[in-house]
């Protein structure tokens, strides 16, 4: 089987519109969550989020392109361009052996919101002629594949908050099995609009005050938006063209709780963590950092901590853990891709991103949480957790290059 490496990374999120800026924000423990700037904010109970401020699509895309691109597709294309540039690829040498897998939960949610507003609030009889191509979940994957002529397997994955990890994991498996030389993979989301937030309000899992993962005072998640896109290649292919290797993906596992549509399962999360370790033939004691799912809800955080303890045993208390959602918000289907950057930061710069806003410790989350300030520590193996509504679990294991 082929070994699989990451040779390029790109992002747009509430912390920065590139990887270097995101690394700096994570290192500083900067918060990208604030008061939202969206229409009809006064009609919402939840008025904060990890919004990409200062986004200027007109400066990045032509008028024709903007007619085709929902905000989530725009984020994906900009992140994809950064990833391909870092990887040193204009177009792959054999486009038939390259593809694209992207994760998203809401797809073109902004387009849906605008179309509904036009029809119901403004009583218009027509919507934009490209409404369907803009809103479809595969729009980002399709436009990425067209932009770089990737003619291999290209599709989108929708598994709620685990979508990005599933997308990256499937791309990893495809390359490892020899079905492709390389893939673009990641996730993108843009649901910070009136309709998207009003739907989430109904679940009563959102915080009005801020995201405080693992802290005793936590009272809910805060939604964010953004994208993360990565260039994955076989190690052989990357070496042949002299590419810089950012990390190796050495394990992946996915499973289903098959129990409850919204409540997380300790057993399911633990099985996914153990599965990633087994897939990568990694002993629990070698794990040096975990980027946790850590949403800031009472149920998720204590369940995830229990799952980590179950999966890692005695070593669990010695593994540094953080949730960067406290900084950039929960980017739903794109969140795993944005959070994978924290693993790259750890593996390449020995810096563990902090869990900010942490005040009082919770006895049910009694692990080594990296609180409020980044920590310096050498990491050779990192895990990235994603546990979604519907009981969809996906865990990636990464190794220092």
Determine which one of 166, 237, 328, 330 is catalytic.
330
Q: Which residues contact 8 (CB under 8 A, 6 or more apart)?
A: 82, 83, 84, 85, 86, 87, 88, 89, 230, 231, 246
Residues 6+ apart with CB under 8 A from 259: 265, 268, 391
Can 161 be counted among the known catalytic residues?
A: yes
Q: Give the list of residues 6+ apart from residue 366 with CB closer than 8 angstroms, or none.
A: 305, 317
Residue 51 is classified by DSSP as -
Answer yes or no: 293 catalytic.
yes
8 Å CB contact between 91 and 148: yes
Query: For residues 186 and 229, what is the distance between their CA atoms, to the nearest angstrom?
Result: 4
| Neighbour tally for 122: CB within 10 Å | 7
Does the annotation count 166 as an active-site position?
no
Strand 48-49 versus strand 154-157 pairing type: unpaired
Where does residue 11 rank: exposed (0-12), middle (13-18), buried (19+ CB within 10 A)? buried
CB-based contacts of 265: which residues, under 8 Å, 6+ apart? 257, 259, 303, 391
The one catalytic residue in 31, 100, 143, 161 is: 161
- Helices 266-279, 298-312: axis angle to 10 degrees equals 40
Q: Residues near 273 by Cβ (< 8 Å), separated by ≥ 6?
A: 253, 307, 308, 311, 312, 383, 385, 395
Q: Are the beta carbons of 167 and 187 closer than 8 angstroms?
A: yes
Q: Which residues are catalytic?
A: 161, 293, 330
């Amino acid at each position: 089987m082929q070994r699989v490496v990451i040779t390029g990374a790109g992002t747009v999120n509430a912390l920065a519109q590139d990887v270097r800026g995101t690394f700096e924000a994570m290192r500083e423990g900067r918060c990208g969550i604030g008061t939202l700037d969206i229409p009809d904010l006064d009609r919402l109970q939840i008025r904060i989020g990890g919004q990409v401020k200062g986004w200027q699509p007109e400066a990045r895309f032509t008028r024709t392109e903007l007619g085709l691109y929902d905000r989530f597709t725009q984020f994906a294309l900009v992140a994809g361009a950064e990833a391909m540039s870092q990887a040193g690829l204009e177009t792959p040498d054999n486009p038939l052996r390259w593809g694209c897998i992207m994760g998203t939960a809401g797809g073109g949610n902004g387009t849906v919101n605008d179309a509904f507003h036009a029809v119901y609030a403004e009583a218009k009889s027509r919507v934009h002629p490209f409404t369907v191509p803009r809103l479809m979940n595969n729009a980002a994957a399709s436009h990425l594949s067209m932009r770089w002529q990737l003619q291999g397997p290209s599709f989108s994955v929708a598994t709620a908050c685990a979508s990005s990890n599933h997308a990256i994991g499937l791309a990893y498996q495809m390359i490892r099995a020899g079905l492709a030389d390389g893939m673009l993979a990641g996730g993108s989301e843009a649901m910070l609009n009136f309709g998207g937030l009003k739907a989430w309000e109904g679940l009563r899992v959102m915080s009005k005050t801020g995201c405080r993962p693992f802290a005793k005072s936590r009272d809910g998640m805060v939604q964010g938006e953004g994208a993360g896109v990565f260039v994955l290649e076989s190690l052989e292919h990357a070496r042949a063209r002299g590419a810089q290797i950012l990390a190796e993906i050495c394990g992946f596992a996915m499973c289903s709780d098959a129990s409850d549509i919204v409540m997380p399962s300790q057993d399911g999360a633990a099985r996914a963590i153990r599965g990633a370790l087994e897939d990568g033939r990694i002993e629990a004691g070698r794990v040096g950092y975990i980027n946790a799912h850590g949403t800031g809800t009472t149920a998720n955080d204590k369940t995830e901590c229990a799952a980590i303890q179950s999966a890692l045993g005695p070593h669990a208390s010695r593994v540094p853990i953080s949730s960067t959602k406290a900084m950039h918000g929960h980017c739903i289907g794109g969140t795993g891709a944005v959070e994978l950057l924290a693993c790259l930061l750890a593996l390449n710069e020995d810096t563990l991103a902090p869990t900010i806003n942490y005040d009082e410790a919770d006895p049910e989350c009694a692990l080594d949480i990296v609180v409020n300030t980044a920590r310096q520590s050498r990491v050779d193996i990192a895990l990235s957790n994603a546990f979604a509504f519907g009981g969809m679990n996906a865990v990636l294991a990464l190794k220092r290059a």
